[in-house]
């Protein structure tokens, strides 16, 4: 089977993530080697963004989210790929990481990358989702809010977030009002089945 070429540099947490991605894709990675990003690693990511583009693909856990936020703050303009916790879990060892995800999940995540935008870059005509929209949809507070957020993050390819972070992530990835409503309809249908 031919390995798909990924042009952008992929930022991962460690060697195991690199090995897993390279087993399925023709790609290059930058390893952060933990959540305390060094200035030299940030500089590598800046250079990669200028030369080839960057996809941040960290583990779906707290340290991975911390790395993602640091990169987004220090190197704006990167793309982001997400895989859900279930797909990245090794139940035998109780560990979560990109290295545990399968080819299908990794391919889907890399094909659904989302660019990150600053709040200053909102185009005219873009209707934003408001916190009250999230409240009405039962995504903030309520008996099924966590489950709904998990399913919505999976459907929109933006990863799982808590209620407070969902609003920020919807803005960060400039999810349209229509895309949000379509994804929410699918989530509600899935919960009814």
Indicate the burial class of 28 (C-beta count within 10 angstroms; 0-12, 13-18, 19 or more).
Answer: middle
Fold of the 4-118 domain: Dna Topoisomerase Vi A Subunit; Chain: A, domain 2 (3.40.1360)
Count CA atoms closer than 13 A to 127's CA, side-chain side: 6
- Stretch 25-44: mean pLDDT, rounded? 92
Give the confidence band of 12 by pLDDT, cuts at 50, 70, 90.
very high
Over 80: is that where the pLDDT of 4 sits?
A: yes
The predicted-structure confidence for 137-193, as pLDDT tens digits, reads as follows: 999 988 899 999 999 998 998 888 888 889 888 888 888 889 999 999 999 999 888
Which pLDDT belongs to residue 32? 95
On the 0-12 / 13-18 / 19+ scale of CB atoms within 10 A, 96 is: buried
pLDDT band at 18 (very low <50, low <70, confident <90, very high): very high
Q: Which two tokens stand for residue 63?
A: 């340290």
Q: What is the pLDDT of residue 126?
A: 64
Predicted local distance difference test score (pLDDT) of residue 123: 58
Rounded to 5 degrees, φ, ψ at 52 are -135, -20
Q: What is the CB neighbour count within 10 angstroms for residue 186?
A: 15
The phi and psi torsions of 12 (rounded to 5 degrees) equal: -125, 170
The length of the chain is 193
What is the reported pTM? 0.80
Q: What integer pLDDT is reported at residue 92 of this predicted model? A: 80
Reported as a single tens digit per residue, the pLDDT across 70-127 is 999 999 999 999 998 888 887 787 788 899 898 999 999 999 998 887 655 555 666 7
Q: 3-state secondary structure string, the chain?
A: CCCEECCCEEEECCHHHHHHHHHHEECCEEECCCCCCCHHHHHHHHHHHHHCCEEECCCCCHHHHHHHHHHHHHCCCCEECCCCCCCCEECCCCEECHHHCCHHHHHHHHHCCEECCCHHHCCCCCCCCCHHHHHHCCCCCCCCHHHHHHHHHHHHCCCCCCHHHHHHHHHHCCCCHHHHHHHHHHHHHHHHC
Domain assignments of the chain as residue spans, ordered by start:
4-118, 128-192
pLDDT of res. 149:
92
């Amino acid at each position: 089977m031919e390995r798909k070429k990924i042009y952008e540099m992929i930022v991962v947490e460690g060697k195991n993530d690199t090995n897993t991605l390279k087993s399925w894709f023709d790609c290059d990675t930058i390893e952060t080697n933990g959540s305390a990003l060094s200035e030299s690693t940030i500089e590598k990511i800046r250079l990669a963004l200028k030369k080839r583009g960057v996809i941040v693909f960290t583990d779906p856990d707290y340290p991975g989210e911390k790395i993602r936020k640091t990169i987004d703050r220090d190197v704006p303009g990167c793309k982001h790929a997400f895989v859900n916790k279930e797909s990245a879990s090794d139940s035998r060892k109780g560990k979560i990481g990109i290295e545990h995800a399968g080819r299908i999940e990794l391919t889907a995540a890399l094909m659904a990358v989302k660019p990150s935008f600053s709040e200053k870059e909102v185009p005219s005509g873009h209707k934003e989702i408001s916190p009250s929209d999230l409240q009405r949809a039962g995504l903030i507070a309520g008996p099924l809010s966590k489950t709904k957020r998990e399913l919505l993050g999976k459907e929109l390819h933006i990863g799982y977030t808590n209620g407070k972070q969902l609003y920020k992530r919807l803005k960060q990835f400039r999810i349209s009002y229509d895309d949000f409503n379509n994804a929410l309809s699918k989530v509600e249908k899935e919960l009814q089945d």
